[in-house]
Structure 1
Amino acid sequence: MNNKLSLFFENAFSAFKSTQRYLAAPAKPGGAFSGGKLGGGVSKKGGAQQVRKIEIPIETDAKKLANFVCGLNIVKKDGVEVPIKPDSEYPEWLWSLNVDKGPSLEEMQKDTLQYWARKRRLALRHKNKLMKNEFPQPFIPNKIKNLRLA
């Protein structure tokens, strides 16, 4: 009787062991999972390059802001600022450009493609605003925000 019971438990235990799932393989030195990352990691030669941000200095001199277009030559190092010309030197079509938001949704005709594109865009903006309110940003104290870890 005792042998039958122990045999039953051994079979049940081995059946349980065979149904276990392993989500990640252990790290093997020099193998596919080197680096200790899930999914195999990325070798140093083929790794992703980090994007460096260009920091544009903020101009605070009022005379320079009134006479030059500051920050226009961001590609050139120590670029020369472009001076602002009088209005008569610019082409006439520049002053006739429409820079406002365009007609409201009520003023547009309902059977046009532009109407439905604008309606969809407004609905997406509204949905995104609701989602932002539903899931607010977590509170992170300023002490932790200002830490430089790298």
Structure 2
Amino acid sequence: MVMSCTRLLRRISITNEAAQVMGIRGYAVAGGKTKKGSKGGGSGDTPTASVLTKELKSTTVFGANILKDGADPKIMPDSDYPDWLWHLLDKRPPLSELRRKDTETLSFDDLKRFVKLDNRARIKENNALRAKN
């Protein structure tokens, strides 16, 4: 009953007020204008200009504040940050490259990485062999 009524209503054009009374949802009209002071959307087709200056953008990390009453942190000079921070995004060698090198010549960090990746690969291989087909 409800489905057939809904199908009939789709064929009939009704006003927004009537649709609200009946509880029918519709799509927004493309290019429609909103009333002054209504919710949603900006003020017409003009894009809003950024109120942040270039100087403020280059000295502050916007959106990094997690506290209610806090302020966004300021960007400090590179010398104020720890050395390890600058090496976080360095490329590390994959397992295949570590296997080709001699384990005696590997640095401690590379040796730890080799052991971890090798164990992970062995576990995956054992799981694949034991898996039921």
Length-normalised TM-score, structure 1: 0.29
- Max radius of gyration: which structure? 1
